[in-house]
Amino acid sequence: NLPPPIDAEAWGSFKNGIFQGYQTMDLLAAFFFSVFVIRHLREKQEGQKTALLPVFFKASLIGAGLLSVIYYVLVLLGAMYATELAQILPEDMLAYVAQRSIGPLAAPIVCCAVVFACLTTSIVLASLFADFLKKEIAKEKISNWAALTITLIITLFISTLEFSGIARILGPILEVIYPALIVLTVLSILHKLWGWTSLRTPIFIAFILKLASPWLARL
């Protein structure tokens, strides 16, 4: 099925872009990737006096800069082909834009880009979930190999839902939890820089307001 038509008004388009943007799950990925990267850097820097904070800051700037450039280009391409994309399914949009913009080279370039993007993400997430499964759920009663095997089996079954099925399940969940995650991110930065101590209450308020937003909108 095609996605429902969106409001052409500026605010409606912006709001739709924000909510659809939740499904990129970049913020969630940042939580997991940061744990993986920080652990790796701490192990590598063990015994050295080099401060890790400047390294983290530079890495964050590089990552944020690259993502900003990528999303700027994607938004630009989306605006260029907006009228044509209205009839294209969400999972086919990237391939369609690539085909229209770079021609015959689109297929191999898009395939390689998607494979490498998904591979790096899946390696990190599989490693972290397997570690969580082994330590927190199984309480060290299973091996690393067993934990990773279980993780990959779960992933295999989820992948059979395809893009549309996964998006249909995750969409409502992400729309509810993302405002709280954004507040958590901002407050964590404030805590690190200026010693902000109140974390739970603002996060809880953001979560409750999001749940209550359909009723508040009717007032």
Task: Say if residue 155 is in the same domain as residue 171.
Answer: no
Task: Say if residue 15 is in the same domain as residue 72.
Answer: yes
pTM value is: 0.63
CB atoms within 10 A of CB 46: 7
Per-residue model confidence (pLDDT) at position 49? 54
Determine, yes or no, domain membership for 87: no
Determine, yes or no, domain membership for 85: no
Task: Provide the domain limits for residue 145.
Answer: 102-160
Residue 59 burial by Cβ neighbours in a 10 Å radius (0-12, 13-18, 19+)? middle
Q: Which of 132, 123, 116, 114 has the alpha carbon at shortest distance from 33?
A: 123
Task: Say if residue 114 is in the same domain as residue 169.
Answer: no
Per-residue model confidence (pLDDT) at position 149? 93
Per-residue model confidence (pLDDT) at position 1? 47
Q: Taking the chain (219 residues) in consecutive chunks of 10 residues, what is each chunk's mean pLDDT? A: 55 72 77 77 67 77 87 84 81 82 80 82 84 88 91 90 81 83 84 77 84 73
- Alpha-carbon dihedral sign for residues 100, 2, 122, 42: positive
